[in-house]
Homo-oligomer: A and B are copies of this chain.
Amino acid sequence: MAKAADSKGKTLAAAAHLFRQQGFHGTALHDVLATSGAPRGSLYFHFPGGKEEIGAAALALAGEVVRQKIAQAADASDSAETFLTGFVSAMAADLEKSGYRDGCPVATTALETAAQSDVLAGAARAVFESWEQEIARGLIRFGAKADDAAVAATMILSQVEGALLLARTSRSIAPLRYAEAAVKLLANIGR
């Protein structure tokens, strides 16, 4: 039982890693198996829905890691500004230390499959919503009104997602440094 759970976990971790770096369509199931070391049979046992089911679960797993980073950044901060700077810095650190491979763990698959798979599009949407809610929760904690926080959270997530895209493409951290300044401005919407 522990072993079965272990091979499920390894499969999802490998899938999340590969989808993040090279996208959903650019990753074959045999790449996931080779990276995870899990036996082929366990893959079909744990994920009877195949690659689409693995993709949705991998997005949820990767999404939860980032949601926790947002919550931790809020916990470690005493203002909306330090909260947001901490979150953007954490994403920038991931990208830089991976040699510009670990950008947003959801964006690539989300864009590839938005028009093709309701399952994957739904999983990506749920992750982005969970991040927006966590950002809004942090802003409310530091004094924002709920309605303003929801709008600011969408603006802030847009800024971070776009900056991750531009930073990854240009292999430069500059767009994320600018994003740190931008999200501080956007946090003040409605004040």
Contacts and interface: CB of A to CB of B under 8 A. Distances in A.
B107 A111 contact: yes
A128 B186 CA distance: 23
Interface stretch (A70-78, A137-145, A149-157): A149-157
A121 interface: yes
A124 B182 contact: no
Given A111-B23, A112-B22, A116-B22, A158 B168 contact: no
A160 interface: yes
Contact of A162 (B25, B124, B162): B162
Q: Which 6 A-B pairs have the closest CB atoms?
A: A158-B162, A161-B162, A162-B162, A25-B25, A23-B112, A108-B111
Interface of A: 21-23, 25-26, 100-101, 103, 107-108, 110-116, 121, 124-125, 128-129, 151, 154-155, 157-163, 165-166, 168-171, 174-175, 178-179, 181-182, 185-186, 189
